A and B are shown apart, each in its own frame.
Chain A
Amino acid sequence: MAFIRRDIHISRAPQDVWDFLGDPARLHEWFPISGCRVEGTKRWIDLPTGITFEEDIHLVDHHQRRFVYSIVNNLLIKDHFGILDVVDDGHGHSIVTYSTQCTPNVLALVTAGAAGQGLANAKKILEGKN
């Protein structure tokens, strides 16, 4: 099991950031995937390589601004747990963290890379620099 974390500062109010990143159906707007679909506590994400991941959504906590999910029923990914947090930086802006634990270990690195790009995209979008 490998553990990774990526974080970014976004010069927008935490609620604004959460409204965007905390909506599981809008993942494809900032994460480097080609599409996603949500039905209840299930989400399916489509990668540009044609792979689809099935996910269980464990938590969408609008009070803590925390999103928790797992990739499930996957031949390659044996264990997965992901957390997205949006917290106040103390000055009215946001720090976003994206944490993943994953087996196989190397996929945590790949996920971290995608998360880093996704967070950078989100920052551009939310700060109006896109």
Chain B
Amino acid sequence: MGRRILFITTDQQRFDALGCNGGTIARTPNIDSLAREGINYVRAHPQNVVCMPSRSTMITGQHVATHGVWMNGVPLPEDAPSIALTLRQAGYRTALVGKAHFEPLLDPFLRFAENRMGRDGSHSELFTMPDGSVVPHRGFDHMEFAGHGAAGNLHYVGWLRANHPEVMAKFVPNLDADLEVTTEPGGDTMAPQVRTTNDIPRDWYHTDWVADRTIAWLDSMGQDDDWFCWMSFPDPHHPWDPPKSELHRVNWRDLDLPAGYVADAAERERILASKPAHWMGWYDGSFVSNYEAPLKWVPATLQADQVREINAMVHVKNELIDEAVGRVLDSIRARGWDDDVDIVFTTDHGEMQGDFGLLFKGPYHVDALMRLPLIWRPARSSGIAPATVTAPVGHVSLAATFAAIAGLPRPGYTEAPALPVDDDDARSRGFERVLTEWDSVLFGKEVGVRTIFRDNWTCSAMLPGTLHDGTEGELYDHANDPLQRVNRWDDPSVRALRDDMLADMWDNLPSPAEPRRSCDAPV
């Protein structure tokens, strides 16, 4: 019997969403307690700021350049490395409950296993690896999927259809009639993707469903089984349509505007104009580079009250997540496992949530999208002391961390060592930088960004693309400019620092896998 692993992820959650990270609105006592008892990483970045590439890094322990899922819509190959498979081969029982998204969601041809399983309600699909071994899909004995609402080939959708079909239309549809990301306005402020009339009972909402199904799977484990369970909440990702019964928790009219929102339009546009051209291009609607940004919505139309209402909805969703986490932790305690369970909590990427007058996500490598919650509450039996780690770390270390927890050697396919347990450990093992990549090609519009965070500076280089010739970039001094409003890329006084960071970044980024795999769907 070894240490069990509960890996909790959310989708599109900011660092400042949690009380333990300075959040003052959403009450998150359960996650805060994990941070208090464990290791809170206060400078954790994803290796990509949209779902599929980021999640592919989590499961493979590889940078985007290596696993090759370079944008949403590019499927992770079925024979890609998987820490779940590694753990399973070591005797662990394995499950993923909630949002997977290693494969495209829009799949009318049912080409992908996730969609086939979700559609027919099965919980595993066997796959023959190149070496001839037959394994469950991505190494999970049990997969049970949910997404952002009541659409798609997902177990949650099948469950709603079978049991509560009357509530399926209560959610904001993800896509419009042209299959573009919806811009449907709602709420008091007519904010995009807000709906305050979703009267689905809270118990039927996907956050609680994911917790329920996780508990059911844990209940099926033998007392001495080793297990790895990835509990993956689809929230607080848009659409912002939590159960109406819970909206009383946060009144948007009581909220201050977030610090990252620049209220004065002229000042906001001056700041955006100082960044590479794709920032202003998205803001004014002239350049929509990625499918995740709704094509028919122009950020320049975003109003302050809409930012406040959207933030209120996100806070409500974050409270529901925390309470669902609390229920799962209670079930683990009830089984007497608590001393031998490691719990890792993170999210796949952040959300602009009003910063710079923007919503959603895209090739914008600032804290809103890159600085993430990451907490590791080691099993008490491990004797690892609580700590706050300020050194930069990334999701690329997660797979090696899970292997280390299981007492396994670091898998050869991983590209980063296990997470440090404190800053001294980080220093001694070379956690100096964290890297993030972006590539997108959407109907001829191409954007590429490579970013390094080091020494409390963020440096991003634009690759040649539709709007950029490869000489542009961003450089931010977090100590003196925590909101990243002053782009110092062209500041001669920090030119040497910029050049040094770029050289460091190119030295440490893996070469991209060739040939680049095709994008098979928008998302």
Q: Please list the residues of chain A having a beta carbon within 8 angstroms of any beta carbon in chain B.
A: 2, 6, 32-33, 47-49, 51, 76, 103-107, 109-110, 112-114, 116-117
Contact = CB atoms under 8 A, between A and B. Distances in A.
Nearest to B111: A32
B114 to A, nearest CB: 14
B291 interface: yes
B521 interface: yes
A46 to B, nearest CB: 11
Contacts of A112: 518-520
B110 A110 contact: no
Q: Give chain B's interface secondary structure class.
A: loop
B106 to A, nearest CB: 6
B78 interface: no
Given A104-B180, A106-B291, A109-B73, A47 B110 contact: yes
Contact of A76 (B110, B179, B518): B179
Given A48-B109, A117-B111, A6 B522 contact: no
Contacts, number: 64
Interface in B505-523: 518-522
A116 B515 CA distance: 14
A113 B106 CA distance: 11
Interface string B69-105: 0000100000000000000000000000000000010
Contacts of B110: 32, 47-49
12 contacts: A6-B518, A32-B111, A47-B110, A51-B108, A105-B178, A106-B180, A106-B522, A107-B179, A109-B522, A110-B109, A112-B520, A113-B111
Contacts of B520: 109-110, 112-114, 116-117
A6 B519 CA distance: 11
B107 interface: yes
A110 B108 contact: yes
B170 interface: no
A109 B521 CA distance: 5
A48 to B, nearest CB: 4
Contacts of B119: 49
A103 B443 CA distance: 12
B106 A110 contact: yes
Contacts of A76: 179
Nearest to B178: A104
Interface string B27-71: 000000000000000000000000000000000000000000000
Nearest to B116: A48
Contacts of B180: 104, 106
B145 to A, nearest CB: 16
B179 A106 contact: yes
A2 B443 contact: yes
A47 B111 CA distance: 10
Given A104-B178, A107-B179, A47 B108 contact: yes
A117 to B, nearest CB: 6
A33 B522 CA distance: 20
A22 to B, nearest CB: 21
A109 B443 CA distance: 9
- Which of A33, A48, A103, A112 gathers the greatest number of chain B CB atoms within 10 Å? A48
A106 B292 CA distance: 12
A110 B443 CA distance: 13
B22 to A, nearest CB: 38
A40 B111 CA distance: 29
Contacts of A103: 178
Q: Residue among B106, B179, B519 with the most chain A CB within 10 A? A: B179
B177 to A, nearest CB: 8
A17 to B, nearest CB: 21
Nearest to A34: B110
Contacts of B519: 109, 112-113
Contact of A113 (B153, B179, B518): B518
A49 B108 CA distance: 6
A38 B281 CA distance: 47
A100 B49 CA distance: 30
Nearest to B520: A113
A130 B104 CA distance: 25
Contact of B179 (A48, A49, A104, A116): A104
Identify which of B153, B291, B522 gathers the most chain A CB atoms within 10 Å of its CB.
B522
A6 B520 CA distance: 11
Nearest to A118: B109
Nearest to B104: A113
Contacts of A47: 108-110
A15 B350 CA distance: 53
A114 to B, nearest CB: 5
A106 B291 CA distance: 9
Contact of B518 (A105, A106, A116): A116
Contacts of A107: 179
Contacts of A49: 108-110, 119, 153
Given A49-B108, A103-B178, A110-B521, 6 more contacts: A2-B443, A47-B110, A49-B153, A106-B179, A109-B521, A110-B104
A32 B108 CA distance: 10
Contacts of B104: 110, 113
A49 B521 CA distance: 16
B339 to A, nearest CB: 47
Nearest to B181: A106
Contacts of A48: 109-110
Q: Which 5 A-B pairs have the closest CB atoms?
A: A113-B520, A48-B110, A106-B522, A104-B178, A32-B109
A2 B441 CA distance: 13
A112 B518 CA distance: 9
Contacts of A32: 109-111
Nearest to A105: B443
B292 to A, nearest CB: 12
